[in-house]
Structure 1
């Protein structure tokens, strides 16, 4: 408690008296705002406090379904822990709709009351923690816009229980609470009778706006329909492709972003004498024809269908199925130059013979392809087909940022344990549709709900039989569902889609037939009951609900996460991160703030742990995974990618490639690329530069390499000048450390041999020089020089996220060898550091937080983060308070020794540790204890110089048990 009070006092001093106050405190008052550019929002802090609370109270005037949805999975996790809360709200201005009260009734661990206090307009959130209270008070109601988008001011304060401010807030709350009505079903029924949503109510908070003028019926004149801002930019890009003399272009646009309208605008600008629009499914034709007619205008006879049932081949604008147009008899009816402009929808299918036949036959003035998923697994290069001309590209993240899609709330929920076993690939059908699982599915879809008056849902199953039997089981329980599979005709599919749209069905259950090529904008709930096969399929199925529609403010995505080996694909797909870097994927699972707009990503606690388990147990760098990514990038570029291309196109992290293959040249050989030869020594030099510089963890070596590559030599004075310009730390020890890296004296014998066994760079007369062999290689082998320059470019890019002023960057990951280098130790002593080692006035401390159950009792230390500011740390065993190494650490401050704390969650994370910053021992907490094996050990509390980031703290502390 003393530590808490000191930290709180320091925080208040910094927050209210002097911002320059340099004592650490993790509880300083904080202004909470929604800042798109900094990726900050009120919601993230609210969730941090909620997840750590022992109880909570909210006092909010306005609540929306979307706002409540952002908290639902968190409420459920708290319910499992026995944590309860209270919400006080009202019917002020009749803003809160009756349905939101029904949604509140679903949350079992939250008691809700309603006040009729005149002008009730409070927005306050109070969280009770073990040792203190946190308060968030300001302008944000419990709405998704207020928590993520709107310009809001909120203050977060921390108080002990006896603090006057928390006492005032709680007493105010209790006073109103006691006079308020308990929320009941009867109260909701009465409220529904009197509820009327006026125009003024709706203007209070616009939950959704239809994004483009063409979606209103008020505009009848086609030429008055104008493209929106994004479409205008896209049209300019398409026009520039044509202006450059190209007759082909590819549009890559996320599902729901209006590819059809975009293409229609371009056709209107191009003004072809005749247009051919090709699709792969007949039910899309009429919708495409209708959309084009809105944009192009003209008489009905100008627009025709060419399909199995229609043969309007003379129409000016012809909309055809590939099945019909590809028949030789049909093609023969057209002159190859019949159409000025040809459009192919879902063009990623163009590798099929039917498409190639049509493409090879016609000779249009301009040929446009459209797809949301250009990446293929069938070796067909869609980019080559369009001469590598990407006319326009917008992916899911960008589309959300631009408000082009319907916001979504994704819930990764826990699939059922059946007889103690998780649902996985081997689970038999009878278990998938047994009464217990059906009940579990219904509970989840009801709890997480949907936006709008009635559910219009799609459920993706893993097998045809599961879809059929689950549909029957759901119907037995009062839902109206139908199963559709590949066995059903197009007519049957269209009929059932119409029934869903018209409110005659609640759900359509399917396997894969609705992944693409179907447009049901009213979908307000997507349920995933199948294994995540690939990022592409995941995004396709997610995209079924992302079209905007007047009947919904958001779409609910409910993903049942079973015991599948590739659950890690979920955060990859949602974040768009293809780096195959496990640490990135872990972060995207824990911290989902990368998702833009009012959309949110939520994982129930157990589901999250299943994903972490899948990440730990999966090999993300198998030859197949890396080869697929390499081929995809090569296809896109039309050439062998450079290493920097992987960064530029957001593909695999180059460090991942180097960790597996030592250098990029070796990787290219593995990919069976025809590349110029390099010598054995050149290969070893590339390996050294790749392993030691590519990760960018210290900029100094990169600056020196850049200097050498530019001028062939580097004066020490020039190096210091450049480092100064970069804002880097400069001292004798650091420069000496850089020298020891390049002359290899820092490394162990094993690494010296791996790196060529002789200095790569020498320092003579204050001038750095490559050794003679490298100088000759750079002149005599242009390919070797190209490889070094490529590597240097990547290293510069990677170095941008590291602190150049300080040796180490908070919350980045480092190996023991990295730490030896960055702390300017003369040699790599990583093999003898073990838990900690004091040297050169530094002492790095390495902690594996969750040890394996089978670990020996002699090394199973009880290291524990007591809070975001305090670490309880154990020395090695068989040490006493009188051991010299222990006394050195206890008296670190007096001895001018910096203690650096490095922590990894568990051994599954590999050899790298998160850097949590410096720490200082609290002397009055030093105690000698005894290990289980009877050997002495010393433990003490250490106060962190920097309060540990909440997301990282939670990630490290949380156990992995499912």
Structure 2
């Protein structure tokens, strides 16, 4: 038998963890020999090991004490499995232990994986590792390996309770020694900005270069916003700085950070609070209450640079007093929770200049927060939520208060365990009654717990938090409802229990975020979600997917692959019942129906403190918020949707103005933006009567790194309706005119903007479009045509983005559209939406690098067009490929995905020609799976 060999590396395509899981589940026996086993890696293997135990699959595991990297907790957990024998090679100074081998015995062959990976979360999922897998029948090679394994086994000691206890005591003694690495790290010359901080500082510099004097940074707690502000201040060197926040303890930490990064700079640092009055300090750190109380003792231009930390409080009266009084050269707002501004839009306060926005998936990708291990667990049969409204918390509470469920939760909690020496958990409950019940039942079972609800005093809250964080306090759990959803920082939390039905992706993400703060005593967060049979279980998938702009197919792929697209070593695992239940619900739900959209809208309104979200920009404030363009698409404008679902007569009356409604429809039809130029130009015209090409270039460069003159000119022409057909010109309002290289506002546009209410809605659409473009496209210049790889496009977008200078309405209807040397291929992989098995095998992916396409039926090889396609490289023809899986889903036309350019390498046939193309860019594994996998 020729051995079957492959290289296993951790990549988007696969990783060692997946290979180990499938091998443990399918083998008859297994043998591991690894130098290190951390609990972070072992937890990811607990379920397959439990399945192996259930099916009588026996295993042997050897690990070592080499360099003291193996966790005693991991050894304890391995000992719980009755099908495993565990030994430890006790390493000596002269003799190291470096093996990383995984051997699986099958009925008629062996699988051997040897390489570089130990059992840690990083080695199994994300580190650069090389592991060679060989499958072959028993031969001398296998006999040599098993002989060596047996020799190691005989040289190792049994990991009994006494051995583990002594090893744990030894590790504990090491923790009392000083950490030399930490001492080095705290020297300022060793502190460098992380990726998030560098991006923020670059964007702040760009905004200041273009004359802006305010900016906002949105990033989760623990991602380093204070360090970022200190780096920016260090670079800018203001003469006087004011740092404002509402709590003295935050101020003290901020002051320490600035002192650390700015030593020996002849700068004095001082506090201005209830306890300190060091107002003469060069860099002053003040509470909002104190600075607003003494504000007249300072000159208006006293400070060159002002930092407003926790800027979501900036709508309060004390902050407003500060913001309106001082006139700094630059003001920076920082927040992790922009949604908490209750009275006005936090973005408006900082002139809608967002220097950086880091949401959960971004923070995971940039390693600004710790990874989480999420386990979706099917709830017990005794809890039936299938026939009730998930907003009926009284009835839900009644059904969740089941003693058997408490026992089930505790069993799972013990099985999956936690990272660290003490369990520090938050349990999110359905109601106050439920939280009190859970605390009582946990206490009855020996797990010290308390309930904490909105009515408890701040002192009580602070006391419980301190107790939970204290390693010497017995308290293990705080059960709560919503009070820890946002703005509460408990860095050492290592366990989160989701004990209520998920009825909002926003709430889910906020609760998950409570445990993601980095802390020296944890390397990951354990999340246990007890998933019931209620009819909105699929909302969990929306929250975990991390892509606001989802469709049914991509969501199903994400669920069926356990969210393989999640960044880094974060691990998401759902049991089969939960997975199938969610997939079934996604299949049954019509995400485009008015019924679903209304439910989604009113759920968001509830999260928006019950206030009507009149503006698109309201949706920018919440991580996990729905996509408001779905509402807009349903009724042509978002304002029309709100007027309808809220039965708002005032809005209906506003929309009776045909010019106003027509303008909203025109602007809304451009969303989501595929290039930013038009909206930047129109936003400039909100305050000016006209704009030149040079002014437009300056404004656009605030958002993207480069601007070409032809695209700007094309944007001017496009706004002036140069490429509209006769019907479009008749029915669409004309907002601008173009002559003498200047774009002028029309009187129609000016009159609309003179009306304050009309202006707010128009400005909102423009601002939202720009914000969303920045979030999806960043500041990169994409050239002409202006296509970003793997973004979504409609057929008409190709005309706009290639600066097509003819009527756009003619640029549709065929699978092949042409603009000069640019050929745009629009391809449906499944030709009939309703019959998903119907695939045109002439248009298909051959693999990640090659695609087969059939030309339109009338294309001959000897025609000019045929030659341009089959000899595209020689004839300098650019073949741009756009693909979609289905033409329609739930009666809504699906967008295409741009997969880049292709070059013809083979062809055959006549009218049509079948060509094989090599893609310029290999398709990312996740997208390839999404486009080719059937769920």
TM-score bracket for the superposition, by shorter chain length:
0.5 to 0.7
Matched, 1:46 2:12: no
1:147 aligned to which of 110, 114, 124: 124
The CA distance in 2 between the partners of 1:76 and 1:449, in whole Å, is 14
Aligned to 1:605: 576
For residues 300-350 of structure 1, what are the alpha-carbon distances to aligned partners after superposition, in whole Å with 9 as ceiling and x for unaligned? 98422446x777767655555556767xx6666666555443333333454
Answer whether contact 2:16 2:124 (CA < 8 A) is retained. Answer: yes
For residues 464-509 of structure 1, what are the alpha-carbon distances to aligned partners after superposition, in whole Å with 9 as ceiling and x for unaligned? 3333332233233333333332223333333333333332133333
Deviating more after overlay: 616-625 vs 365-374: 616-625
Aligned to 2:438: 470
Deviation (angstroms), 1:579: 1.7
Deviation (angstroms), 1:577: 0.7
Question: For structure 1, which runs of at least 5 residues remain unmatched after alignment?
Answer: 1-8, 17-27, 203-207, 633-637, 695-772, 826-839, 841-901, 913-946, 958-962
Aligned to 1:304: 271
The CA distance in 1 between the partners of 2:628 and 2:141, in whole Å, is 52
Q: 1:437 to 1:586 in 2, by over 3 A?
A: same
The CA distance in 2 between the partners of 1:76 and 1:955, in whole Å, is 29
Aligned to 2:548: 578
2:795 aligned to which of 787, 792, 798: 792
Q: 1:109 to 1:359 in 2, by over 3 A?
A: farther
Deviation (angstroms), 1:39: 5.2
The CA distance in 1 between the partners of 2:572 and 2:591, in whole Å, is 23
Aligned to 1:346: 310
For residues 673-717 of structure 1, what are the alpha-carbon distances to aligned partners after superposition, in whole Å with 9 as ceiling and x for unaligned? 97989999xx9xx99x99xxx9xxxxxxxxxxxxxxxxxxxxxxx
Answer whether contact 2:631 2:641 (CA < 8 A) is retained. Answer: no
Matched, 1:568 2:538: yes
Q: Secondary structure at the match of 1:497?
A: helix
Aligned to 1:294: 260
2:226 aligned to which of 255, 260, 264: 260
Aligned to 2:833: 815
Q: Secondary structure at the match of 1:508?
A: strand
Q: Secondary structure at the match of 2:427?
A: strand
For residues 570-626 of structure 1, what are the alpha-carbon distances to aligned partners after superposition, in whole Å with 9 as ceiling and x for unaligned? 343333211231222222223333223333222233343443345345454433477
Answer whether contact 2:62 2:88 (CA < 8 A) is retained. Answer: yes
Matched, 1:242 2:208: yes
For residues 515-557 of structure 1, what are the alpha-carbon distances to aligned partners after superposition, in whole Å with 9 as ceiling and x for unaligned? 3333333333333323435334333333333233322233323
TM-score by length of 1: 0.60
Q: 1:657 to 1:508 in 2, by over 3 A?
A: closer
Matched, 1:75 2:49: yes
Deviating more after overlay: 111-120 vs 42-51: 111-120
The CA distance in 1 between the partners of 2:190 and 2:158, in whole Å, is 53
Aligned to 1:89: 62
Aligned to 2:860: none
- Superposed, 1:634-649 pairs within 5 Å as none
For residues 251-293 of structure 1, what are the alpha-carbon distances to aligned partners after superposition, in whole Å with 9 as ceiling and x for unaligned? 0223321112212332344444554444455654443344344
Aligned to 2:329: 365
The CA distance in 2 between the partners of 1:518 and 1:654, in whole Å, is 28
The CA distance in 2 between the partners of 1:385 and 1:186, in whole Å, is 62
The CA distance in 2 between the partners of 1:402 and 1:548, in whole Å, is 13
The CA distance in 2 between the partners of 1:167 and 1:140, in whole Å, is 23
- Superposed, 1:618-633 pairs within 5 Å as 618-621=589-592, 622-624=596-598
Answer whether contact 2:506 2:625 (CA < 8 A) is retained. Answer: no
The CA distance in 2 between the partners of 1:813 and 1:104, in whole Å, is 51
Answer whether contact 2:244 2:308 (CA < 8 A) is retained. Answer: yes
Q: 1:148 to 1:300 in 2, by over 3 A?
A: same
Aligned residue pair count? 702
Q: 1:467 to 1:956 in 2, by over 3 A?
A: same
Aligned to 1:502: 470
Q: 1:910 to 1:107 in 2, by over 3 A?
A: farther
Aligned to 2:133: 156
The CA distance in 2 between the partners of 1:78 and 1:495, in whole Å, is 44
Aligned to 1:878: none
Q: Secondary structure at the match of 2:212?
A: coil
Q: Secondary structure at the match of 2:526?
A: strand
Q: 1:805 to 1:386 in 2, by over 3 A?
A: closer
Deviation (angstroms), 1:562: 3.0
The CA distance in 2 between the partners of 1:322 and 1:572, in whole Å, is 38
TM-score by length of 2: 0.61
Aligned to 1:546: 516
Deviation (angstroms), 1:150: 3.0
Q: Secondary structure at the match of 1:410?
A: strand
Answer whether contact 2:396 2:430 (CA < 8 A) is retained. Answer: no
The CA distance in 2 between the partners of 1:267 and 1:430, in whole Å, is 54
Aligned to 1:185: 161
Q: 1:954 to 1:366 in 2, by over 3 A?
A: closer
Q: 1:566 to 1:209 in 2, by over 3 A?
A: farther
- Superposed, 1:84-483 pairs within 5 Å as 84-91=57-64, 93=66, 94-107=68-81, 110-114=84-88, 121-127=98-104, 134-159=111-136, 183-192=159-168, 216=183, 219=186, 226-228=192-194, 230-272=196-238, 274-280=240-246, 284-296=250-262, 302-306=269-273, 317-319=283-285, 337-350=301-314, 355-356=319-320, 358-374=322-338, 380-418=344-382, 425=393, 429=397, 432-483=400-451
Q: 1:187 to 1:654 in 2, by over 3 A?
A: same
Deviating more after overlay: 487-496 vs 52-61: 52-61
The CA distance in 1 between the partners of 2:625 and 2:551, in whole Å, is 10
Answer whether contact 1:279 1:344 (CA < 8 A) is retained. Answer: yes
The CA distance in 1 between the partners of 2:834 and 2:144, in whole Å, is 50
Q: Secondary structure at the match of 2:514?
A: helix
Answer whether contact 1:406 1:548 (CA < 8 A) is retained. Answer: yes
Deviation (angstroms), 1:47: 3.0
Aligned to 2:6: 30
Deviating more after overlay: 346-355 vs 553-562: 346-355
For residues 348-387 of structure 1, what are the alpha-carbon distances to aligned partners after superposition, in whole Å with 9 as ceiling and x for unaligned? 4545666556544544332222223446797953333322
Deviation (angstroms), 1:101: 0.3
Q: 1:818 to 1:502 in 2, by over 3 A?
A: closer
1:587 aligned to which of 541, 557, 560: 557
Question: For structure 2, which runs of at least 5 residues remain unmatched after alignment?
Answer: 608-613, 644-653, 675-722, 737-768, 770-785, 787-792, 802-814, 817-822, 844-856, 858-883, 895-924
The CA distance in 1 between the partners of 2:78 and 2:394, in whole Å, is 37
Aligned to 1:519: 489
The CA distance in 2 between the partners of 1:486 and 1:344, in whole Å, is 27
Deviation (angstroms), 1:250: 1.0
Q: Secondary structure at the match of 2:483?
A: coil
RMSD of Structure 2 on Structure 1 (CA) = 5.7
The CA distance in 1 between the partners of 2:134 and 2:628, in whole Å, is 43
Deviation (angstroms), 1:73: 3.6
The CA distance in 1 between the partners of 2:48 and 2:930, in whole Å, is 18
For residues 169-198 of structure 1, what are the alpha-carbon distances to aligned partners after superposition, in whole Å with 9 as ceiling and x for unaligned? 667657766886654324423544666998
Deviation (angstroms), 1:104: 1.6
Q: 1:63 to 1:157 in 2, by over 3 A?
A: same
Deviation (angstroms), 1:100: 1.6
Answer whether contact 1:778 1:784 (CA < 8 A) is retained. Answer: no
Q: 1:95 to 1:627 in 2, by over 3 A?
A: closer
Q: 1:586 to 1:542 in 2, by over 3 A?
A: same
The CA distance in 1 between the partners of 2:490 and 2:47, in whole Å, is 27
Q: 1:493 to 1:125 in 2, by over 3 A?
A: same
